[in-house]
Structures are given as C-alpha cells and as structure tokens.
Amino acid sequence: MVEPGLLRGWVLHRRIRPIRHRFTHRISALLLDIDHLAEIDKRLHFFSHNRPNIFSLYDRDHGGRDGRPLRPWIDELLRCEGVDIGDGQVLLFCMPRMLGYVFNPLSIFFCYCEDGALGALIYEVKNTFGEQHCYVVPVHADERLSKALQHERKKTFYVSPFIGMAARYRFRIVIPGNSLKLLIRESDDSGEFMVAALSARQSKLTDAALMLTFLRDPIMTFKVTIAIHWQALRLWVKRAPAYRHVPTPSKAP
C-alpha cells in the first residue's frame, strides 16, 4: 500500500522548436487514496472532501466531472480498456482546491491490483476550454514490479493553441513512494519538439504541512491559470505558430 501524502516540487516546460521557450514553476500537490477520502476529511482540519475548506477535493473536479463517486467511474473506464484491478488501491495525484479554486492541467490515477502491483495509469488532462481527456495505460505483468515505466501514446486531445495535434507523447514515470518523477517528450514527424518534466518529494499529509503550504503560497492554484495565459502571451509575442482549436470528447465510460 502506498501512503497518501503531500508532494512539493517543480514543473519544467521546454520548447525546442519552432521557437525556443522555457519556464519552470513550483508545485504542491496531494496523493490521495480515493477510497478513503472521508477518513482523510475526518483526520484533517484543513482538508475537506466535497465541502469548502482551505484545501478541498470535489468529486466533480475529476472523473466524470458530474459529482458521482470516483471509484465506480475508474473501474468502468479500466474495464473498457480490458483492465480489472478488483478491490485494489487507487491513488490520485492532483492539486487540491485552495480557497475553492483549482485548475489541474494534469492529474494522474495510479491503479493498483489487489496484490499491490500497479495495474494501470490514467493520465487525466484538462485544457482551458473546459474539456478533459483520459489517456489510459495498462501496465503489463512483466512491468508491474518496475519502479519506472515507459510508454507512448498518440496525441488525441487539444491542449494548447501553440501545439499541433499531429504528435506523440513518450512518458517516463517513477512510481510514487518517497518521490514522484514524470518526464513527457512530445514529438512529430520531424522529431522531438517539447519536453515537460515534474519532480516532487513526498512528505506526510498533516494539518501542519497543509498550513505551511498555504502560508508559503496562498494563491498557488490561481497562479497556475495565470501562468498558462502569461506563457501563451509570451509565445504569441515570439510569433509561435497557432493551431485551430479541435474539440475532443471526454474519454468517459
């Protein structure tokens, strides 16, 4: 069993072509067992599930985004991909709401089998148009004991006006324990053109840790949306090529 926790670290984005562009920003996120959110709510004063608090998580922020519990949605999504984890643990990596607001460009579900081996990953991606898509990655039997996984997926979801759809993602992820690391390389027919990386250290999820996080950066979740638009403005000033918005239906059971 992987313990829920608080993760602090950095996110890096680096564009290689057609123009060079780079930025980093701090991140604080939670790793939560979606089957025990009520218990975490009772244990902590500064975190709540489906109700307001300094930090909170609402079921409608993830999954089907309709307020229904996350676990049945996860089980059905995995079933559609031919994956059955039984009653295994499911951990959600995401930024929580802070003072009622959050925007998660990327959340990750770690879906474990009943024997404790990782059975699947779900990359839940959102864009600023209010859309969401899930890339489901089954973990094969010969990979389940590995602490680092590598996989590829064709890009099927519009994220940024400055990135085209004719691309592929290459993921390398270190499974959470004391830390979480993720590297995403995006390429097209001409080769790699962007790299995104996340590196975060995990600590215990306590009221003291949550309050320290809030005092360090009380508008962290607001800054994510501000940063997205600021970087878009910088790219526009640099005359980065723009691509038309292509709506993509949410991947949901």
C-beta separation of 182 from 197 below 8 A: yes
d(CA 16, CA 225): 23
SS (H, E, C) the chain: CCCCEEEEEEEEEEECCCCCEEEEEEEEEEEEECCCHHHHHHHCCCEEECCCCCEEECHHHCCCCCCCCHHHHHHHHHHHCCCCCCCCCEEEEECCEECCECCCCEEEEEEECCCCCEEEEEEEEECCCCCEEEEEEECCHHHCCCCEEEEEEECCCCCCCCCCCCCEEEEEEECCCCEEEEEEEEEECCEEEEEEEEEEEEECCCHHHHHHHHHHCCCHHHHHHHHHHHHHHHHHHCCCCCCCCCCCCCCCC
Q: pLDDT by residue (tens digit) across 60-114?
A: 999 999 999 999 999 999 999 999 999 999 999 999 999 999 999 999 999 999 9
C-beta separation of 225 from 103 below 8 A: yes
Mean pLDDT of 204-220: 95
pTM for the model:
0.94
Q: pLDDT by residue (tens digit) across 123-153?
A: 999 999 999 999 999 998 888 778 889 999 9
pLDDT at 60: 96
What are φ and ψ of residue 148, in 5° steps? -130, 130
Q: pLDDT by residue (tens digit) across 12-66?
A: 999 999 999 999 999 999 999 999 999 999 999 999 999 999 999 999 999 999 9
Of the pLDDT bands very low, low, confident and very high (cuts 50, 70, 90), residue 249 is low
Q: How many CB atoms lie within 10 A of CB 55?
A: 24
pLDDT at 247: 82
Asked if residue 249 has a cis previous peptide bond (ω within 30° of 0), the answer is no
Q: pLDDT by residue (tens digit) across 222-242?
A: 999 999 999 999 999 999 999
d(CA 124, CA 137): 11
pLDDT at 253: 54
Task: Check whether 200 has a pLDDT greater than 60.
Answer: yes
Nearest to 102 by CA among 222, 216, 227, 11: 222
Task: Check whether 213 has a pLDDT greater than 60.
Answer: yes
In sequence order, the β-bridge partners of residue 172 are 150, 183
CA-based Rg of the chain, rounded to a whole angstrom? 18
Task: Check whether 251 has a pLDDT greater than 60.
Answer: no
pLDDT at 17: 93
| Residue 191 exposed, middle or buried by CB count within 10 Å (0-12, 13-18, 19+) | exposed
